[in-house]
Amino acid sequence: MKKIFIITAACLIVFGLSNCKKVLDQQDISTFTADQVFNDSTTAKLNIDYLYSQNQPGWFGNTGGSIHAAGTYNLTEEGQGSNNFVLGTVTIENVTDIGVANTTSNAYGKIRTINTFIRDINAGTLDAGVKRRFAAQAYFWRAYRYFELVKLYGGVPLVLVPLDAVGDQAKKDALVPRSKTSEVFAQIKKDLDSSVKYLPGKWPKKADYGRITSGAAAAFMGRVLLTYASPQFNPNNDATRWQSAYDANKTAVTLLSANGYGLYNKWDYTMWTLDGANEGGIPLNPESVFVTAYNTTSADAAANSNTYDNGARPRSVSGGGSFNPSYEMSLAFPMADGKPAAGTGASTKYPYALSSFYKNRDPRFYQTIAYNGATWGSVMGSSRLWTYFFFTNAAGTTNKSTEATASNTGFYLRKGVDESKASPSTFIGTNWPEIRYAEVLLNLAECAAELNKTGLADESYANLIALRKRAGLEAGSDGLYGLTAGLNRVDLVNAIMKERQIEFAFEGKRFWDLRRRKLLESTLNGTRRNALVVQLRNTATSTDYIALTREASAAASLDAFYTSNFIVSLKVLDNQNINFQAGNYFYGIPTAALNNNINLVQNNTWGGAFDPLQ
């Protein structure tokens, strides 16, 4: 008897490419047999597209799960939010991504769907090359899912075939023990090797923009092996892991460069809004290596749309005002000469002052953070953004914001907002670039620095300089764009980590970077995040006395306007110090999962016997 391949009608409200800005005709093939589905390229394509829709990351790299529910930007100095992770109250019950329910909404449910596709496409009668190309995409998504699990817990059960869902034997077969962490990484690498081997460097049709390419698979391999080489998984600093990661990222750069990928020519919002490809597959935006693209219409309820853009805009223009950089995030950006704003090596050419926090900064500061008095394309209409406070009584004891609902930090996140649109709808077409070419360069730079070999430091410097030059920093007389010459291994890695913090601010990378480098405690513990407060000087008028003149005055000289009218200070946002636990590097297996599978063993970091470093 032939197995029936079942996909519900709801699942088949899929996309021609779930990440493409077109929606296929909705079809119900819930009564099709596996032969009908996987012996026909059209129906096979429907199913691979469903895998995309199930697994693609959303804005901030959101893949679902416990970490993303807290918001990665709330777990570092990027933004401010209270949660179990920063409060130091995480238990084994808090990270539930391993799941227990039989549903396609959790990790193993998605892996089961991927495994079913791999089994059935390989058993089908399509041309061998076509089958390999379909399977290679599925292998990528399986690697992607297992990487999400292994970086949370260490080794997890490796399930590579779809298990039967019913019967006593099926229950026994489902009690799969945890594989070693090294075995999970080896399987991820094996799957990605297949993806790199059998996927094209670029897809020839414009409609296939967003499909995984060999370069995207190689770039993801570079991220995976970089993580495995980092202190979280490599406390003894095994150089062979760094060499493997270096080789993988070098391969990614080679493949991507050969197929039209590279740095976008400028650093602004168009790096997010420019999408698509020419016929022949050359990407219009060479920066977007691994991208989730979005629709611009709500014509279909299943359209792949996001609410990020509207959510980032101030409430004063009917936005959500949801993503607010902290003062600490603003301070992380260097000055225009590439030197730090504060601390060791601080810029002497452009001395930083709190009262003029916005002056002479890295151009990426202005494209990432919207602040009091900033222009913001068409977002604010014909006016500037105003986030200051003014006194409503002569004594200066009652305060009011210029905004009906004020930003809690005094800042708004500007990155990726389409500034050409004054009032976008809920359905926004701005893409999410999960891997930018810039990341591949910095992954390679970090591996080169860690290997500490003659000549590789030059490669690290070259990649850092490429990003800083593209950003618009001043070259300086030494042509190092603010970098210090002759850095040793440790200091060069630190410089790369700082560059990642700036370049990828609010891109869902910072928390994972600090975690893989085991820097959560040393970087964040004992600190509290701050808001920047811009206060209109009290002249006993009890009004916002600059409201009618501020636009013209700011246009004439924002510096003079600040000096004459504002007092800038900081306000602590956190009620207690950040307090990451050592257990955050490998989370505990929840009780429900342990009870569901008697063969699971708890991590030794949470009182069990499983060593996540093996």
The fraction of the chain above a pLDDT of 90, given in percent, is 82
The confidence score (pLDDT) of residue 20 equals 46
Q: What is the band of 307 on the pLDDT scale with cuts at 50, 70, 90?
A: confident
Delineate the domains of the chain, giving CATH numbers in brackets: 1-55+97-198+585-614 (1.25.40.890)
pLDDT over threshold 60, residue 191: yes
User: What does the pLDDT read at residue 7?
Assistant: 41
* More reliable by pLDDT, 171 or 430: 430
Q: From the CB of residue 157, how many other CB atoms can be counted at a distance below 10 Å? A: 19
Phi then psi dihedrals of residue 387, to 5 deg: -125, 20
* The pLDDT of residue 27: 44
**What's the pLDDT score for residue 157?**
97
The pLDDT, as a whole number, for residue 297 is 62
* Residues making up the chain, counted from first to last: 614
pLDDT beyond 80 at 222: yes
Average pLDDT over residues 159-168: 77
Stretch 271-280: mean pLDDT: 88
Give the pLDDT band of residue 275 (cuts 50, 70, 90).
confident
Question: Per-residue pLDDT for 86 more than 90?
Answer: yes
| pLDDT at residue 485 is higher than 70 | yes
**pLDDT computed for residue 26 by the predictor:** 36
Give Cβ neighbours of residue 520 (< 8 Å, ≥ 6 apart).
514, 580, 584, 585
pLDDT at 33 over 80: no
Q: Looking at the predicted structure, is the pLDDT value of residue 184 above 50?
A: yes
**pLDDT beyond 60 at 28:** no
pLDDT above 70: residue 114: yes
CB 351 within 8 A of CB 343: no
3 state SS of 470: helix
Q: What's residue 25's pLDDT?
A: 34
Distance, in Å, from the CA atom of 191 to the CA atom of 223, rounded to the nearest integer, reads: 14
Q: What per-residue confidence (pLDDT) applies to 588?
A: 98
pLDDT of residue 17: 39
Please give the mean pLDDT across all residues of the chain.
91
The yes-or-no verdict on residue 36 having pLDDT over 90 is no
Show the 3-state SS of 186-250.
Answer: HHHHHHHHHHHHHCCCCCCCHHHCCCCCHHHHHHHHHHHHHHHHCCCCCCCCCHHHHHHHHHHHH
- Range 53-82 average pLDDT: 94
pLDDT band at 369 (very low <50, low <70, confident <90, very high): very high
What is each CA distance from 456 to 126, 250, 363, 607, in whole angstroms? 46, 12, 28, 41
**Can you give the pLDDT at residue 168?**
63
Is the pLDDT confidence value at 559 over 50? yes
Mean pLDDT of 166-176: 71
Q: What is the pLDDT of residue 266?
A: 96
pLDDT at 32: 58
Task: Please report the pLDDT score of residue 342 as a whole number.
Answer: 95
* Distance, CA of 125 to CA of 360 (rounded, Å): 63
* Residue 10 pLDDT greater than 90, yes or no: no
Look at the alpha carbons of 514, 368, 71, 388 in this order and tell me if their dihedral is positive or negative: positive
Best mean pLDDT range from 177-191, 277-291, 444-458: 177-191
Angle between helices 181-198 and 214-229 (to 10 degrees): 160
Mean pLDDT for the stretch of residues 279-296 = 89
The encoded tokens of residue 306 equal: 């996001």
